Structure 1
Amino acid sequence: MAGTVLITGATAGFGAATARKFRAAGWKAIVTGRRADRLATLVEELGGSEHVHAAAFDIQDEAAIDAAIDSLPEGFRGVDLLINNAGLALGTAPAQKSDLGQWRTMIATNVTGLVTITHRLLPTLIERKGAIINLSSVAATYPYAGGNVYGGTKAFVRQFSLGLRSDLAGTGVRVTSIEPGLCESEFTLVRTGGDQAAYDALYGGANAIQPVDIAETLLWVASLPPHMNINAIEMMPVSQSFAGFQIARTK
C-alpha cells in the first residue's frame, strides 16, 4: 500500500531511481540531498510539489536534519518509510596511506548521519507502523584491499539494522538491510575523485547492477504485507563473485 517515503541521497543514482519508482507506484516522496538544483528538477519531473517535497541539506548536519523534518508540509509529515540511501566511499588507498579526513567524512555520512535521521523519525515510524530500509553493501561482509573504513561503516549499517529489528519488536516497524555488490552509478566517480578511466575500467563488460534494479528491490520490500519482514538482502550482478585470500610471501 502506497504511503509517504523519505529518501536520503536522492540527487542521483539509487536515490533518484528510487524516487521515480516509488512515485510511479503512487507513493508521495520526500527527497533529500545537498544539491538543491537536482532536487528541484526531480520534483518537477515527478509531478510537482503536491506529490514530491524536496529538502536540501547535508546529512552530516544534525541541525539541518532537524530543521528539514520540523518544516515538512502538512501533507508530508506522516512518513511511512525511511530509506537511508545517502552514503559515500572516498579513496581506494590502503589504510596506512589513507586520508584521515576522508575516513571521518565517511563515518559522518554513512554512520552518524544515518543514525541521526533514523532516531529523529522513529517516533513517527512507530506511530504509523512504518518501515526502515538501510543501504548497506557486500563490503559489510567481504573485506577487500582499500575498503577499510567504507567497509566498516557498511558493517555498522548492517548490524544497526539488525539491532533496530530487535529493539522495535512489537511496534510493527519493519527494518531491512540492502547489501548490493557492484552497482554502476556516480558512486565510483566520487570515490576516485572523478577519474573517468577508473570508472570505465571497473564497469567495462561487467554488466553491473543498475540503480533501477536497486529501486525495484526497495519497492518490492516496501510492498510486502505488513506481517512480513525482510531482514537483509545480499545481491550481486551475475558477473561478480568472491575473491580469493591474499597471501604475502617472504622471499
Structure 2
Amino acid sequence: MSLFNASRLLGKTVLITGASSGIGAATAVLFAKAGSNVLLLARREDALKEVQQACIAAHKESGLKEGGNFAPIQLDVSDRAAIAGLWSKVPSNLRKVDILVNNAGYVIGREHVGDIDESVVDGMFATNVLGLIAMTQLFVKEFKAQKSGHIINIGSIAGFEAYVGGSIYCATKFAVNAFTTSMRKELVDTPIRVTEIQPAMVETEFSLVRFKGDVNAAKSVYAGLQPLTGQDIAEEIVWAASRPPHVNIASEVIFPTNQAGATIAYRTPQ
C-alpha cells in the first residue's frame, strides 16, 4: 500500500502544532497529499500561510477528492489560556479531529547546569512539556467522546539518552517520554492510539534556534554526515497514522545511518 494513497487517511482531520517549519510543515504537506484535512498551529502567521499554500498544492497534485481543507491558526502552545480557547479558532467543518501531532518544541543554548538562565528553563518547559500536556488533555477528552483518535507526540533521542550541554532539553524530552508512556497505559481500554516518534539528528531550524541564529555553529552540528530531514520524520509520522485501527506504533527511534547515539556518530574527515 502506497504511503500517499492509504484509504485510512482519506478525509481525516489532523491537527499539527509547530506546523510553520521543519518536521511540522513537512508532515502537514504529506497529510495533505494523502487526502487529509489539516489544522496548522504555530506562532508565526506568515510562515503558516506559506505551509497552507504548500498543502493546497500537494493536495491538488494528488488528484484526490477527499480532504483539501487547510486552516492556519496562530497559537503559542506555551499559552495555556490560548489552548483552552482553541475551539473558537477552529473552522466549524474541521472540529472533529482524528489525529493530534504534538510537534511544537525547541531548545536554546548548550550551557551547563549552574549557568542556565531561568527564562530559558521556563520557556522550554512551557512549550515542550506543559503545552504538549495541555493540548493532549484537551484532545483526550474529545477522543474519548468520539471513541476514536490518535495522539502522536514528537519526542527525541534526548528523551532516553541525556548528554552534556542538554540538561534542560533532555529533561523536557524525558518528561514527554514518561507522559506518553503513562498515557498509553491509561488509555489501553479505549480505541485511542498513542505514538511517540523519537528522532536523532534532524537538520531543520532546530540547531539554528539552539545557537541563537549562529548559522556556522548550527551547520557544524551536521558536518561530515548526512542528517535526517524534516521530510524523513514526516514520512514516519504519516506511516504510523496510516496503520489499521488495531495497530498502534507505540514508539519509533530514528537515526541517520551514521549516528548510533546522542553523541556517537561517524563523520567523514573534512
Q: TM-score range by the shorter chain?
A: over 0.9
Q: CA deviation at 1:128?
A: 4.2
Offset at residue 9 of structure 1 (A): 0.2
Equivalent residue letter for 1:119: Q
Give the Å deviation of 1:72: 1.3
Range 96-105 or range 68-77, more displaced: 68-77
Q: Distance in 1 between matches of 2:175 and 2:52?
A: 32
What is the aligned partner in structure 2 of residue 106 from structure 1? 124
Provide the secondary structure at the position in 2 that maps to 1:214. helix
SS where residue 31 of structure 1 aligns?
strand
Q: How do 1:202-221 and structure 2 match up within 5 A?
A: 202-221=221-240
1:58-95 deviations in Å (ceiling 9; x for gaps): 11111211222233112110000000000001111111
SS state at 1:26 partner: coil
Moved more, 216-225 or 71-80: 71-80
Structure 1 length normalisation: TM-score? 0.93
* Counterpart mapping for 1:96-245 below 5 A: 96-126=114-144, 127-242=146-261, 243=263
Cα offset, 1:41, TM superposition? 1.9
Does the 8 A contact of 2:35 with 2:68 survive in 1?
no
By how many angstroms is 1:96 displaced?
A: 1.6
Matching residue of 1:7? 16
The code of the aligned residue for 1:135 comes to I
For residue 79 of structure 2, the aligned residue among 47, 50, 61 is 61
C-alpha distance in structure 2 between counterparts of 1:75 and 1:164, whole Å:
28
Distance in 2 separating the partners of 1:71 and 1:187 = 28
Aligned to 1:248: none
Structure 1 residue 42 displacement after superposition? 1.8
* Residues 90, 103 of structure 1: 8 Å contact kept: no
Q: Which secondary structure state, in structure 2, belongs to the residue aligned with residue 46 of structure 1? A: helix
Number of aligned positions between the proteins: 244
Please tell me whether the aligned partners of residues 9 and 85 of structure 1 are also in contact (alpha carbons under 8 angstroms): yes
Deviates more, 1:215-224 or 1:35-44: 35-44
- Give the whole-Å Cα distance in 1 for the aligned partners of 2:141 and 2:173: 24
Taking structure 1 as reference, are residues 170 and 70 closer, same or farther at Cα in structure 2, changes over 3 Å only? farther
Equivalents in 1 of 2:106, 2:87: separation in Å? Answer: 22
Question: What is the deviation of 1:124?
Answer: 1.7
Q: How far apart, in 2, do the equivalents of 1:96 and 1:133 lie?
A: 34
Conserved in 2, the CA contact under 8 Å of 1:7 and 1:85? yes
Q: Is the 8 A contact 1:36 1:56 kept in 2?
A: yes
In the TM superposition, what is the alpha-carbon distance from 1:29 to its structure 2 partner?
A: 0.2
Query: For 2:46, which of 31, 37, 41 is the aligned residue?
Result: 37
- SS in structure 1 of the partner of residue 151 of structure 2: strand
Q: Percent identity?
A: 37
Q: Which amino acid letter does the alignment assign opposite residue 161 of structure 1?
A: T
Show CA shifts across 1:104-127 (max 9, x none): 100000000000011111122221
1:249 aligned residue:
none
